[in-house]
């Protein structure tokens, strides 16, 4: 695939994306945003492409550019593997000034040769970056020559950072898969219920909570695109009967084009929350239209929901009525509301950044008339919303944890850096456990006490001390001791309340 202006315009104007629909037209089209020199973009197109492809675990991912591009994204996502770990090694051609002047193609060829010889990957994905795109290295020619010589698929990924946003990079990754990978191998056998999961990256192992459910009802996941995927399975994805896009429109171009090229319909589903998980299973069965499959799905939902109700009861008792501000992106803005509601938690505000018009409509419905939507969440804005709503907890991405600390409320990380799997029925228990631990941690009582230096002359620190002069060294030392020794109730160990 040559990265032409026409190709970029086509992807930016992807008709499957809500931002491009008539109703969805707005001034804030995330995928249309141009990179602003000197401003943090929240990931470049190269970053977006590597997010979408690196989870292919038995492939090597080679960044053709200065070493800093690799450092930009390598290892920042907890996308887990159940087998090969080739993808975990960061490979880069680490261009020097000389390569930039004389061209980096020879260096790239040597790097591919070294990777194939030392690691025998199932394939090598080669990513262009700003520098190598600007100096005009012919990625396609080098990849083609190396593939011919070594008999290993070498896939060029044209997603130099300057072409646009992370979102556009996701789509460019989808194009690379469509052009070079999907349809290049046949599965040993097919079943009537073969599906692909698109846009599920197995962060913290979330997909492993869901795969057994599909297996139980007889749905085969032919290809995971791309969480915990093997290269070969992505090659066979064109034989699936249904594409299930998971909580992400990032690869919408891929789903739409597979429908055009291979006649595979697609649906968008979420794995977060009991209702959404139930709906996902039902919708897949409905799409296949098989009565027996529908029955198996209903039976599974009934048994899973009954077991879950029992396991969640102690958590619901402790979490019910808590007020939460949610600040995350895209579809998680509504799918997590649904999961929180299942636990009796009241989401009082949520963000609408990167949300499509369809997402926003769902958010409105789930939040109710009093819910607040946050378009741009600067720390000041978030602090204001937390104060205004009297929120007990902030659920957001890692970088917002300091905002929560400033507001002296607990925080739960929901973004790609998280270490806990919240998807599927199992994920609900994990989420409830994490929320319970965060909310009832004894630290919050201490954090909300006044600091010794904030205590006025003669004022008691913990509110029940006898008044003193407060200005002698001895009294200040005593104040500090007392603060450190403040007795706070310790939350009951969760194993005792739920037996989970
Ligand atoms: S590809 Fe360009 S924008 Fe992205 S990390 Fe490299 S130099 Fe920066």
Question: Are both 194-306 and 312-441 of the same fold?
Answer: yes
Distance CA 388, CA 128 (A): 46
Is residue 482 predicted with pLDDT exceeding 60?
A: no
- Give, using CA atoms, the residue closest to atom 5 of ligand 1: 69
Residues 6+ apart with CB under 8 A from 326: 333, 336, 337, 340, 347, 349, 350, 351, 395, 396, 414
Ranked by mean pLDDT, the top range of 150-164, 236-250, 331-345, 417-431 is 150-164
CA–centroid distance, 71 to ligand 1, in Å, is 10
Q: Which CATH architecture has domain 194-306?
A: 3-Layer(aba) Sandwich (3.40)
Residues 6+ apart with CB under 8 A from 314: 494, 497, 498
Report the chain's C-alpha Rg in angstroms.
26
CA–centroid distance, 324 to ligand 1, in Å, is 36
Q: What is the pLDDT of residue 467?
A: 38
pLDDT band for position 232 (50/70/90)? very high
Is residue 447 predicted with pLDDT exceeding 90?
A: no
C-alpha dist (Å) from residue 369 to 348, 363, 366, 380, 392:
10, 11, 9, 24, 20
- Give, using CA atoms, the residue closest to atom 7 of ligand 1: 130
CA–centroid distance, 130 to ligand 1, in Å, is 6
CA–centroid distance, 74 to ligand 1, in Å, is 13
Atom of ligand 1 nearest to the CA of 35: 3
Q: Which CATH architecture has domain 5-180?
A: 3-Layer(aba) Sandwich (3.40)
% of residues, the chain, pLDDT over 90: 61
- Give, using CA atoms, the residue closest to atom 6 of ligand 1: 69
Atom of ligand 1 nearest to the CA of 130: 2
Phi, psi for residue 473 in degrees, rounded to 5:
-55, -40
- Give, using CA atoms, the residue closest to atom 4 of ligand 1: 161
% of residues, the chain, pLDDT over 70: 83
Of the ranges 360-364, 425-429, 479-483, which one carries the lowest mean pLDDT score? 479-483
User: 464: buried, middle or exposed (CB in 10 Å: 19+, 13-18, 0-12)?
Assistant: exposed
Is residue 464 predicted with pLDDT exceeding 60?
A: no
271 C-beta neighbours (distance < 10 Å), count = 25
**Probe target for ligand 1 pocket from 129, 137, 139, with the most ligand atoms within 8 Å of CB:** 129
Distance CA 108, CA 143 (A): 9
CA–centroid distance, 161 to ligand 1, in Å, is 5
**Probe target for ligand 1 pocket from 69, 74, 133, with the most ligand atoms within 8 Å of CB:** 69
- Give, using CA atoms, the residue closest to atom 3 of ligand 1: 161
Mean local confidence (pLDDT), 423-429: 95
Mean local confidence (pLDDT), 235-245: 98
Atom of ligand 1 nearest to the CA of 72: 5
Is residue 475 predicted with pLDDT exceeding 50?
A: no
Is residue 487 predicted with pLDDT exceeding 50?
A: no
Q: What is the pLDDT of residue 360?
A: 75
Q: Across the chain, what does the average pLDDT equal?
A: 85
**Probe target for ligand 1 pocket from 68, 74, 127, 161, with the most ligand atoms within 8 Å of CB:** 161
Of the ranges 133-147, 178-192, 256-270, 339-353, which one carries the lowest mean pLDDT score? 339-353
Cβ atoms of 15 and 259 within 8 Å: the answer is no
Mean local confidence (pLDDT), 235-263: 93
What are the tens digits of pLDDT across the range 32-88? 555 555 554 567 899 999 999 999 999 999 999 999 998 766 777 888 999 999 999
Atom of ligand 1 nearest to the CA of 129: 1
Rounded to whole angstroms, the maximal C-alpha distance in the chain is 85
Pick among 3.40.50.720, 3.40.50.12380, 3.90.190.20, 1.10.357.10: CATH of 312-441: 3.40.50.12380
Is residue 484 predicted with pLDDT exceeding 50?
A: no
Q: What is the pLDDT of residue 289?
A: 96
Using CB distances shorter than 6 Å, the residues near ligand 1 are: 44, 46-47, 65, 69, 72, 129-130, 160-162
* Residue ranges per structural domain of the chain: 5-180, 194-306, 312-441, 449-500
Is residue 483 predicted with pLDDT exceeding 80?
A: no
Is residue 438 predicted with pLDDT exceeding 60?
A: yes
Cβ atoms of 158 and 46 within 8 Å: the answer is no
Q: What is the pLDDT of residue 78?
A: 84
CA–centroid distance, 5 to ligand 1, in Å, is 19
Query: Among all chains, which residue has been given the structure tokens 């491009």?
Result: 20
Is residue 202 predicted with pLDDT exceeding 80?
A: yes
**Probe target for ligand 1 pocket from 92, 94, 162, 167, with the most ligand atoms within 8 Å of CB:** 162
What are the tens digits of pLDDT across the range 218-228? 999 999 999 99
CA–centroid distance, 69 to ligand 1, in Å, is 5
């Amino acid at each position: 695939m040559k990265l032409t202006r026409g190709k970029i315009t086509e992807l930016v104007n992807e008709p499957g994306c809500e931002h491009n629909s008539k109703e969805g037209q707005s001034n804030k089209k995330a995928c249309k945003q141009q990179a602003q020199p000197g401003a943090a973009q929240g990931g470049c197109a190269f970053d977006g492409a590597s997010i979408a492809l690196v989870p292919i675990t038995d492939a090597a991912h080679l960044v053709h550019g200065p070493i800093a591009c690799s450092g930009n994204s390598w290892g920042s996502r907890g996308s887990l593997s159940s087998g090969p770990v080739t993808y975990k090694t960061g490979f880069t051609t680490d261009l020097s000034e000389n390569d930039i002047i004389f061209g980096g193609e020879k260096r790239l060829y040597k790097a591919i040769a070294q990777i194939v010889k030392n690691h025998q990957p199932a394939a090598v994905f080669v990513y262009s970056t700003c520098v190598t795109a600007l100096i005009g290295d012919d990625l396609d020619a080098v990849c083609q020559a190396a593939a011919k010589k070594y008999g290993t698929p070498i896939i060029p990924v044209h997603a130099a950072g300057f072409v646009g946003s992370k979102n556009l990079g996701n789509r460019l990754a989808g194009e690379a898969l469509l052009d070079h990978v999907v349809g290049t191998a046949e599965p040993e056998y097919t079943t009537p219920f073969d599906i692909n999961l698109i846009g599920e990256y197995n962060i913290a192992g979330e997909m492993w909570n869901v795969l057994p459910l599909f297996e139980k009802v007889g749905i085969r996941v032919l290809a995971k695109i791309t969480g915990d995927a093997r290269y070969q399975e992505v090659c066979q994805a064109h034989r699936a009967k249904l594409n299930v896009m998971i909580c992400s429109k990032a690869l919408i171009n891929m789903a739409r084009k597979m429908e055009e090229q291979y006649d595979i319909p697609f649906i968008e589903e979420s794995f977060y929350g009991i209702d959404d998980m139930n709906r996902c299973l039902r919708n897949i069965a409905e799409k296949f239209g098989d009565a027996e499959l529908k029955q198996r799905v209903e039976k599974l939902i009934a048994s899973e929901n009954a077991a879950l109700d029992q396991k969640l009861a102690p958590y619901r008792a402790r979490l019910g009525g808590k007020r939460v501000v949610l600040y995350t992106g895209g579809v998680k803005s509504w799918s997590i509301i649904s999961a929180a509601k299942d636990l009796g938690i009241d989401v009082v505000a949520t963000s609408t950044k990167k949300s499509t018009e369809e997402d926003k409509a769902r958010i409105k419905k789930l939040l109710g008339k009093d819910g607040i939507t946050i378009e741009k969440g600067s720390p000041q804005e978030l602090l204001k919303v937390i104060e205004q709503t009297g929120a007990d907890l902030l659920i957001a991405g890692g970088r917002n944890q300091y905002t929560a600390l400033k507001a002296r409320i607990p925080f739960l990380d929901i973004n790609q850096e998280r270490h806990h799997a919240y998807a599927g029925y199992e994920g609900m228990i994990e989420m409830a456990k994490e929320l319970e631990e965060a909310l009832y941690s004894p630290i919050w009582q201490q954090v909300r006490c006044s600091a010794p230096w904030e205590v006025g002359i003669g004022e008691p620190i913990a509110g029940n001390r006898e008044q003193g002069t407060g200005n002698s060294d001895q009294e200040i030392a005593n104040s500090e001791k007392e603060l450190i020794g403040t007795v706070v109730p310790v939350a009951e160990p969760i194993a005792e309340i739920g037996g989970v």
